[in-house]
Chain A
Amino acid sequence: MLYREAGQFKTRYDADMAVFPIRQDVIGIGLIIAAAYLLPPFLGHFAIGTVLIPFLVFSLAAIGLNLLTGYTGLLSLGTGAFMGVGAYACYKLTTLFPGVNILIWIFASGFVAAAIGVVFGLPSLRIKGFYLAVATLAAQFFLEWCFVRIPWLFNYNVSGAIEVPTRTLFGVPIVGPNATPLTRYYVILTIVIALTWIASNIVRGRIGRTWMAVRDMDIAAELMGIRLLRAKLLSFAVSSYFSGVAGAVMMFLWYGGGEAKDAFSINLSFTILFMVIIGGLGSLLGAFFGAALLHLVPIFLKFGLPALGLPIGGATAEHLTHFITGALIVFFLIVEPHGLARLWATAKQKLRLWPFPH
């Protein structure tokens, strides 16, 4: 009744190909973005720092991995390491050129990650499918080793950690010890919205179609004139760009510095992969869903349950998180292999008919 498309006819092709062809969807997105900007000043530091900021960072990384694994079909277990590359690149750039605005370096660090992504994507010419995942594992472990053994990366700090300096935008500190959670949140939000828009543009155009063709049947794609290596390398590049920026954002705007070896380990790679799987492979919306669900579960267990009167130890919460994560993955694969995004699409289908049953 509310969610009807009746009366919404498209008279031009570009209108038909819009991201949100149904007017209600456009309104919905508009409301969500407005809420994202207007509500947070009323939410506490906890909501912003522990819930929203990590959610945004994970979503961005999940979008990156989704482009590679969901749209192009190239399984990657190296997302964590590529995020690390972005973080370290950003650190080196901003310490070498402190005068340049940090936002420029955040976006630039993605290119460094992209370059490294292309190098580790070269084997995809010869190696397919599951074996390629092993190549990405090589990348993950090798880069992790680099983060520890190449002191130049962390400016020879004795602690081995990245120390995030203060950087400002229009005079307001956005990075470093003086940046408030709210400021950092707005910066991250804007970055994520911009990059999501760009990702959405890419996947709906010829490049997205090329990638999906490579994923679905690469032999047929090749016989139609698609150059496989170029398409795959582009996918590695773009995906690593997103991961790199996500890593830089994570280190600079979320963590505010720290031991990168622990932060960008193989566990992070798996976490992002699970977010992509649960959210839905091949769906940008799914990246957000997956990030939300997998990020909220441990928070709910650690803070939500005690708040409801069920005290639960920190360690137990962590164990339960592992268990529930595993259960969620199995559950979704059985019930809806296309993840939350498909469930959402199905729900919208039903909503179109509501309140009629069929």
Chain B
Amino acid sequence: MLYNILIDPFVQMVELPDLFVQVLWEGTVAGVLYALIALGFVLIFKASGVFNFAQGIMVVFAALTLVGLHEAGVPALLALALTVAVMYALAWSIERIVLRPLVNQPDIILFMATFGITYLIIGLGEFIFGGRPKTMITDQLLLPRGAIDVQMLGGRVTFQKLDIAAAVIAGLMVVVLAVFFQSTRIGRALRAVADSHKAALSVGISLNQIWVIVWFTAGLVALVTGVMWGARSDVSFALQIIALKALPVLILGGFTSVPGAIVGGLVIGIGEKIGEFYWGPLVGGGIESWLAYLIALVFLLFRPQGLFGDKIIERI
């Protein structure tokens, strides 16, 4: 028994290295997609101290809007532009209706408010688009199709072109966002707001404007995420629960670190896939549903502030 758990999986990895690389790649792709969702969370948290539980549903909503518009006859690229506008309208409404009245409330209240926003958007989305899953319009968005097969390590490893595109796009986004936060005036203002609403207000930063910008940016990230996720599997409300997977990613990478989101995403994605593939069969499979959380939990026990977080020194 012990052999099965501790030795055999590694033996398998070595015996069939091409399979191992395939699993590694699948994990990397999954990790990149998780990282994309996590990025949305990081954005809003970094800029407002609010953990936006609604990020997951924003991903779904953006994807649904895009596909819905296209189904209604709008050409793909125009639909994309219109969806961007819709996400702006969403950000503006959220700021106006939910965030503005709750300014200066403790973070836990704002967090619970995002639960409310989530269900509002779920209801709205279901009402407008119906509950049936839809297919993402990958071709029309000029995303590549097909796969590249590489002969390596005694076997064959398949790389889907779409996945490669996803990785590249995600990488680009991380770089852009990191630069945005560090170097621009708005980025600095965002960090100020995350630190303290009251202090930011007192130096003349317009909270309302900042929040609209932040939620809009998160909306854009959500759109990209929605397109990439939707391209790999159908667009449906089930995606929303997958967004919860972003939590272990954030725990590992830290809630305020843009590069951390990528690192965390990759660790969770790869860890999950390898765990499921090599150890899953020992217990009947399906451990993907909770393995990520377990990894995060164990991690938290040793380092309660996450990989990139700051050690909190309590003062009293």
Chain A residues within 8 Å of B, Cβ to Cβ: 75, 123, 126-128, 130-131, 134-135, 137-138, 141-142, 144-145, 148-149, 219-220, 223, 266, 270, 273-274, 277, 315-316, 318-331, 333-334, 337
- Shortest Cβ distance from B130 into A: residue: A315
Whether B300 sits at the interface, judged by CB under 8 Å, is yes
A325 to B113, CA, bound (A): 11
- Which residues of the other chain, A, contact B75 by a CB distance below 8 angstroms? none
Interface of B is mostly: helix
- Which residues of the other chain, A, contact B116 by a CB distance below 8 angstroms? 325-331, 333
Whether B171 sits at the interface, judged by CB under 8 Å, is no
Whether B162 sits at the interface, judged by CB under 8 Å, is no
**0/1 string, B110-138, CB within 8 A of A gives 1:** 01110111111111101100010000000
- Which residues of the other chain, B, contact A333 by a CB distance below 8 angstroms? 102, 105, 109, 112-113, 116
Whether B186 sits at the interface, judged by CB under 8 Å, is no
* B301 interface neighbour in A127, A321, A328, Cβ under 8 Å: A127
- Shortest Cβ distance from A318 into B: residue: B126
Contact status A330-B301, CB under 8 Å: no
- Which residues of the other chain, A, contact B314 by a CB distance below 8 angstroms? 219
A324 to B120, CA, bound (A): 7
CB within 8 Å: A-B pair count: 124
- Which residues of the other chain, B, contact A316 by a CB distance below 8 angstroms? 127
- Which residues of the other chain, B, contact A219 by a CB distance below 8 angstroms? 314, 316
Whether B247 sits at the interface, judged by CB under 8 Å, is yes
Write the nearest CB–CB distance from A247 to chain B, whole angstroms.
19
Which size bracket describes the interface of B in this complex? Answer: 35 or more
CB contact under 8 A between A131 and B304, given known A316-B127, A320-B123, A337-B105: yes
- Shortest Cβ distance from B316 into A: residue: A219
A274 to B116, CA, bound (A): 9
CB pairs A–B below 8 angstroms (15 shown) = A123-B301, A130-B51, A131-B304, A134-B296, A138-B290, A145-B290, A266-B244, A323-B119, A323-B127, A327-B116, A329-B115, A330-B98, A333-B116, A334-B101, A337-B109
Write the nearest CB–CB distance from B45 to chain A, whole angstroms.
10
CB contact under 8 A between A270 and B109, given known A318-B126, A326-B123: no
6 smallest A-B Cβ distances: which pairs? A323-B123, A326-B119, A329-B116, A326-B120, A138-B293, A322-B123
Chain B residues within 8 Å of A, Cβ to Cβ: 51, 97-98, 101-102, 105, 108-109, 111-113, 115-124, 126-127, 131, 241, 244, 247-248, 251, 283-287, 289-290, 293-294, 296-297, 300-301, 304, 314, 316
CB contact under 8 A between A131 and B251, given known A323-B127, A326-B121: yes
A145 to B283, CA, bound (A): 11
Write the nearest CB–CB distance from B100 to chain A, whole angstroms.
9
- Shortest Cβ distance from A265 into B: residue: B241
A219 to B116, CA, bound (A): 31
- Which residues of the other chain, A, contact B117 by a CB distance below 8 angstroms? 326, 330
Write the nearest CB–CB distance from A168 to chain B, whole angstroms.
37
- Shortest Cβ distance from B315 into A: residue: A219
Given contacts A134-B248, A138-B293, A326-B115, 11 further A-B contacts (CB under 8 A): A75-B108, A135-B293, A145-B289, A149-B284, A316-B127, A318-B126, A320-B123, A327-B120, A330-B97, A333-B109, A334-B102
A126 to B304, CA, bound (A): 7
A171 to B100, CA, bound (A): 60
Contact status A323-B120, CB under 8 Å: yes
- Which residues of the other chain, A, contact B123 by a CB distance below 8 angstroms? 319-326
Write the nearest CB–CB distance from A174 to chain B, whole angstroms.
35
A75 to B101, CA, bound (A): 24
- Which residues of the other chain, B, contact A325 by a CB distance below 8 angstroms? 116, 119, 123
Contact status B119-A322, CB under 8 Å: yes
Contact status B102-A329, CB under 8 Å: no
